[in-house]
A and B are shown apart, each in its own frame.
Chain A
Amino acid sequence: MTEPRQSVAGVSPETPATAPADSHAELAEHLQRSARGDQQAFGRLYEAMSARVYGLAVRVVRDPAQAEEVAQEAFLEIWRMAGRFDPERGSPLAWMLTIVHRKAVDRVRSAEAATRRDTSYHQHNQPVAHDATAEAAHAGLEARRVRAALNTLTPVQREALELAYFGGYTHTEVASLLGLPVGTAKTRIRDGLIRLRDTMGVGG
């Protein structure tokens, strides 16, 4: 549990350098209790995670109403799957955000056929007021470190990664958007993630 680092490419359960407002240990504890049906613990988990969960959903699906649905679905899944979170395999933060991201991407892709994302983006893009409290909680050192780490990526790596992660595009679409030969965007995305991982000292 508290081994500082696993040797190979394992994921260290605690990565203090990047622990957000709530430490990984606390989040893991909330998850554990949630798995036993403790709704209060889940409430605390919600408090700790809602800005990130909703923020990620909005970044990907863009439409606030749909983002709220995605966030709700993701929270339900986190609740139901809480007992299957394995701290040996990764941080609670990554586990939860992976769930959210997958749902957001699925939503944006399945919605695509009906309405072009750009349309709904322009229609619904009334700036959602930034909340000062959330801002303060988030935008500390951590955000600056991540931005600094992102600045070490090549422009193409960064753009490919952001189009994939926040845009919800497939690597093939990313290649096309960036005018890269098919098959190279996936490498840029991977290289970018590896650099981000190594700069931030997470996950191996």
Chain B
Amino acid sequence: MLPNKPIKETAMQSLSNRKKIIEQKPMNFWERMYLPAIAKGLGITIRHFFKKIPTVKYPEETRPYSKNFRGQHSLKRDEQGRERCTACGLCALSCPAEAITMTAAERKKGEEMLYREEKYASVYEINMLRCIFCGLCEEACPKEAIYLDGPHVTADYLRKDFIYGKDKLVEPTFDITKLIQDKTS
């Protein structure tokens, strides 16, 4: 609050000319009664009373995610339901937070329906506490195997529970012809 007396303007000249010197006048009788001010305040609150409430009742209604929202990672499958990841390690390399680790393994005979490439990730872990959801792994992946298209990563009680393995990351199998996901995998 500025004092009543205007400050001497010798030391500093205002360049923009937008400076205003506010003068505090003593209140007149009507203002000192406060009743008009109270009525004005009541008017404001009652206007808000009838306003539309912007709150979203969360568990019942959810707000739509943005198209380029980056949520929880999912390891994708191809059209035959095989895992696309070939454990090349580019995602782990590109990750600025060093949240991704993996162990590669060779595909055995009879596993052709499970893994698309000859090399696959037997362990694939993302530490969700380290991850910053920047999406660089998505960009680095040459096999289009990882996408950050899931929902928010939920809260948990223990740090170890935030290290998501393949059980949580690999997307469930689905039949491309029916486009209906099933939860068998």
* Same complex: no
